Amino acid sequence: MTAVAHTSYGALRGEANSAGAGGDVVVFRGVPYAAAPTGERRWRPPQPPPGWAGVRAADTFGAIAPQDISTERLTKRGLTMSEDCLTLNIWTPAVDDQRRPVLVFLHGGGQTQGHGSAPLLDGSRLARRGDIVVVTLNFRLGVLGTLYAPDRHGAGSTNLALRDQRHALQWVRDEIGAFGGDSAAITVAGQSSGAVAIAALLAGGCDLFDRAILQSGGLERVRSTAAASAVAEQILSTGAFTRGGEPDVEQILAAQRGIDTGFVPPQGPFHPCIDGDVIDAHPLVVARTRDLPAIPILAGTTRDEWRIFDSALDEDIFTEQYVLDRAQALAGPDHDADAVVAMYRADHPTMREAAGAMVTDYHFTAPTEQFVRAHAGRGNAVFRYELQWPSPRAGLGACHDSCLALVFGNVDAVPALAGNDGAARQMSEAVQDRWLEFVRGAEPWQRYDGAGGATMLLGSETAIARGHRTEQLAVWEGRYPAYE
């Protein structure tokens, strides 16, 4: 079965997809939302895609953005990689005039990895269960999406990934009615660096969506102009850019690999930056000092975000001195590192777990809480959560990325993240039901009203908590760079 949608650029033919969705949905893959950012358009803002005659097949995912991934993995997943990557994917219960709520999802990956066609992000189950339209997309990554070099590439060349995302959101606003979606009911959601991007878009005043969901965002990672300039200087001093002419993709990726991404504290050399154009101040500063777009926000983190990253380290690394040094690096000179370690050790049986919990709070939980606290303080609806559902893999707990399988209902895609048994599927349905309430415009649980306010704990026992971990979060208050 196929269906045809008529956009401003031409007609598209999608195909039915019933796998695991409880009924057919129609999926449109590889839909161009912008012209190829190649040649003279490489360092330029996205431009409208060219139109086409006849009916264009939308049955193949578009090329993913250039990133470090082996040819073998690409082939195994049936994917290609190219700079010509500005496409999106749409799952809809039907191509009709029902005007369903729309969920646009921005993938994570540290702004250097990922794509909207990942199995975890398959929108079939979510679209069918919620009777909504689900959209995922690709956008420029790494150097090609974030290089801060306005002196070299001119005005409009900065924060290209954010410009791509903004352009895609405009495309959705303009065209989603052709796919059974409601252009006046768009929720943008993002996980990890996708959530960072949403915070940056909000800080820049983007009004192309009506509600926002921020999942596991390291919101402190938006870079100062100086930090972005320093990364650009390193990139532009490599042979890829100094030998003359425009470098090819492999040369750019090689230059990108030479940048130290840091570990603890986490660094984000390819995240959005304060460019004075797309964004003029850090999202945490904007939220605190002036109005963001007055839309409802659902935001939160997993309980044990950082454990999956620490799992790569040997056990003998986590000595008392190592954990103390980590606490000092994170908390800064104004805090007693011994007291910070003691506080986290009181809640965690091992040094590894305590060390991971500190980074979880510093990088994910505390900046998210500060961002939404300020938004709620201006009278906006905020719904805060902590996902406590543990990975079945020993030692990971409720780790980073585990929310994806639950939200999209694809617990079978990567079972190690959230499990793939009856209990995991029930947890997924519970999470989906709350996300879908929010997407439909309802209030999924009690509003968060400031420090210590209502937080939904999502796990084997789901309940609202107040005063949840306020002592730990207070350690990181004011710790982030003042980018004013």
Cβ proximity of 217 and 366 under 8 Å: no
For residue 23, the SS3 value is coil
- Please list, in sequence order, all residues whose beta carbon lies within 8 angstroms of the beta carbon of residue 211, skipping any fewer than 6 positions away: 186, 187, 188, 295, 296, 297, 298, 438, 439, 441
**CA-based end-to-end distance of the chain:** 55
Cα–Cα nearest to 79, from 66, 97, 92, 96: 66
Q: How many helices (H) and strands (E) does the chain have?
A: 19, 13
The residue behind tokens 């694809």 is: 410
Q: ∠ CA 231-233-236 to the nearest 5 degrees?
A: 110
CA dihedral 413, 417, 421, 427 (to 10 degrees): -110
Cβ proximity of 225 and 148 under 8 Å: yes
Q: Which of 271, 363, 400, 468 is catalytic?
A: 400
CA dihedral 42, 44, 48, 54 (to 10 degrees): -10
The question of whether 375 is a catalytic residue gets the answer no
Q: Which of 124, 192, 216, 391 is catalytic?
A: 192
Residue at 237: amino acid letter: S
For residue 5, the SS3 value is strand
List the beta strands (DSSP E) in 276-367. 297-302
Q: Which of 83, 175, 220, 305 is catalytic?
A: 305
Size of the chain in residues: 484
Phi first, then psi, for residue 266 (nearest 5°) are -65, 140
The question of whether 305 is a catalytic residue gets the answer yes
Cβ proximity of 298 and 212 under 8 Å: yes
Phi first, then psi, for residue 48 (nearest 5°) are -55, 145
Task: Report the b/e string of 419-457 with b at 16+ CB within 10 A.
Answer: bbeeebbebbeebbebbbbbbbeeebbeebeeebbbbbb
The residue behind tokens 């009911």 is: 185
- Please list, in sequence order, all residues whose beta carbon lies within 8 angstroms of the beta carbon of residue 157, skipping any fewer than 6 positions away: 43, 44, 147, 149, 150
The question of whether 271 is a catalytic residue gets the answer no
Residues facing 457 on adjacent strands: 386, 463
Residues with catalytic roles: 192, 305, 400
